[in-house]
A = this chain, B = another copy of it.
Amino acid sequence: MYSFKNDYSEGAHPNILRALAESNNVQQSGYGDDMFTTQATDLIRRKLKNQQAAVHLVSGGTQANLTVISSVLKPYESVVSAATGHINHHETGAIEATGVRIEAIATEDGKLSPELINAFLETVEQVHMRLPRMVYISQSTEVGTHYMKEELIALWNFCRRRDLYLFMDGARLASGLDASDMQFSDLGKYTDVFYIGGTKNGALLGEAIVINNPDLQKDFSYNLKMRGALLAKGRLLGIQFTELFKDNLYFAIGAHLNKTASRLAEAFHQNGYDFLTPSRTNQIFPILPYAVIEKLRENYDFYIWKKIDSQNAAIRLVTSWATQESVLLKFIQDLKACSAGSNRV
């Protein structure tokens, strides 16, 4: 049984394990005040071409989202998100638990646009509704799509005009950037805050929050400590992000994620299947007859994402830093065999 359920089924990229072993006996200060965190911060700033960015390493994506959003917004302000956005759909109300309201916008493809946001803003009534103050987007999105550079710039300009902060969730940033024409350094220019996902991109755990907007940087560590997000052995995160960024390993992993996923997507396409969303990232959502799904499940583990009709459902396949060529070849062969015998609609 091989799992395509997600991109966090395996451990860490070998470089990370090696670095952890090598540094194990070096004494360092705690709570992020260690030389590895400093190295990681320097590397990220350099690649971002923003020496003033504040970098904070935390354990996970929900933690990154909740610490950022709850520290940026005033109690009576709200954050605008696609209804499919991770904060709205899959974080057990972590944002609301900090007192913040999410304004959920229905979208076609998991992506927000100035038009969608503006249509919502026109319905907002003073005092009796929250004051929207932040826009939350994900790169790549929770449904496999991604933002192109001009889409990001359009959102950024809109947010500037309307006094909104722009926050990008980068839980799957390696894949998102690889799929897009956007450069990593664009994130330093066209967002107020974003985070660089580690957990889903080869780390044992960890996300790097990057605060570009100087107004939002002050005292941020207090928020981390207060939310239980400041690790005593911060070195564990510093070492990992140093490895991911020192030889562009992060971007290489992003390319691997998308290349392996596109190999799978191509196979579905060749067998005549359609997709729920036009994904070029490491999450693909082919639509298959239940009969094919059942056969595939004999050897592969994955989520059935959405029922389409009585005959078909969309499944989700996700590739990881560890997905190997041999697995792809075997899957493609199995898919062909399954599909041959099915009554495709």
A75 touches B127 (CB 8 A): no
Knowing A71-B74, A76-B93, A90-B129 touch, does A205 contact B226 (C-beta < 8 A)?
no
A3 touches B27 (CB 8 A): yes
SS class of chain A's interface: helix, strand, loop or mixed?
A: loop
Segment at the interface with B among A44-52, A151-159, A227-235, A244-252: A227-235
Q: Does A225 lie at the interface of the complex (its beta carbon under 8 Å from any beta carbon of B)?
A: yes
Q: Distance in Å from the Cβ of A168 to the closest Cβ of chain B?
A: 18
Of chain B, the residue at the smallest CB distance from A225 is B92
Knowing A219-B76, A232-B60, A233-B199 touch, does A94 contact B14 (C-beta < 8 A)?
no
Q: Of residues A26, A30, A61, A131, which shows the largest number of chain B Cβ atoms within 10 Å of its Cβ? A: A30
Q: Distance in Å from the Cβ of A310 to the closest Cβ of chain B?
A: 16
Segment at the interface with B among A4-12, A107-115, A276-284: A4-12
With a cutoff of 8 Å between Cβ atoms, the chain B residues found around residue A23 in the complex are 11
A76 touches B2 (CB 8 A): no
Segment at the interface with B among A96-104, A185-193, A267-275: A96-104
Q: Distance in Å from the Cβ of A17 to the closest Cβ of chain B?
A: 5
Count of chain A residues near B, Cβ 8 A: 76
A94 touches B232 (CB 8 A): no
Q: Does A20 lie at the interface of the complex (its beta carbon under 8 Å from any beta carbon of B)?
A: yes
With a cutoff of 8 Å between Cβ atoms, the chain B residues found around residue A96 in the complex are 96, 99-101
Q: Distance in Å from the Cβ of A176 to the closest Cβ of chain B?
A: 17
21 contacts between A and B (CB under 8 A): A2-B27, A3-B27, A8-B233, A10-B25, A10-B28, A17-B20, A75-B226, A78-B93, A90-B129, A91-B128, A91-B226, A92-B225, A93-B101, A94-B227, A96-B100, A96-B101, A98-B99, A104-B104, A127-B225, A227-B228, A228-B228
Q: Does A200 lie at the interface of the complex (its beta carbon under 8 Å from any beta carbon of B)?
A: yes
With a cutoff of 8 Å between Cβ atoms, the chain B residues found around residue A2 in the complex are 27
